[in-house]
Amino acid sequence: MSTSFEHKSVWITLVSLIVVLVAYSIPAGYLLASGITIMAPYVGLFIAAVVLQIVIMIFGHIAAALVSRPEEADERDRLIEWRSEHYSSWVLGAGVFMAMMLLATPIAKVWPTHLLLVSMFLAEILKATLRLVSYRRGF
């Protein structure tokens, strides 16, 4: 069975998120390991990562539109998205809570910032994964 445009879009989103997370984590991890706690170099990296994700998403969706006719998300697509978001939001919530706890400590701000960033990425990756599972198993 061929997949819908929305289904392909979720795959593109998942791939872009993983690529961007890895592309950001390697240099950022190196900077963190080097003991750099000022935000400026991370901001530059983050902007580059966002631009990379936008590029992947644009070209991915152009490719998807070439192989299958783009169509609006229907009620099943929306339901799958809402349910996946319901579960993935717990990851983001936990990340925000832990980041708030970290902010109450004298630790450098770069750590809670990255905790927020990682939880945001993981929540989005989980959401995309749950959507793909729902499309696969039926909903």
Which positions touch other proteins (CB under 8 A)? Answer: 1, 3-4, 6-7, 71, 74-77, 79, 83, 135, 137-139
Name which of 78 and 109 has its Cβ closer to other proteins.
78
- For the bound state, the minimum distance from the C-beta of residue 75 to other proteins, rounded and expressed in Å, comes to 5
d(C-alpha 116, C-alpha 95), whole Å = 6
- For the bound state, the minimum distance from the C-beta of residue 15 to other proteins, rounded and expressed in Å, comes to 20
Name which of 106 and 138 has its Cβ closer to other proteins.
138
Residue 10 is encoded by which pair of tokens?
């979720």
Which phi-psi region, left, alpha or beta, contains residue 73 (left: φ > 0; alpha: ψ -120 to 50)?
beta
Q: What DSSP element (H or E) covers 86?
A: helix 75-103
Asked if 53 and 24 touch (Cβ cutoff 8 Å), the reply is no
Q: What is the DSSP letter of 3?
A: P
- For the bound state, the minimum distance from the C-beta of residue 61 to other proteins, rounded and expressed in Å, comes to 16
- For the bound state, the minimum distance from the C-beta of residue 96 to other proteins, rounded and expressed in Å, comes to 28
Name which of 76 and 118 has its Cβ closer to other proteins.
76
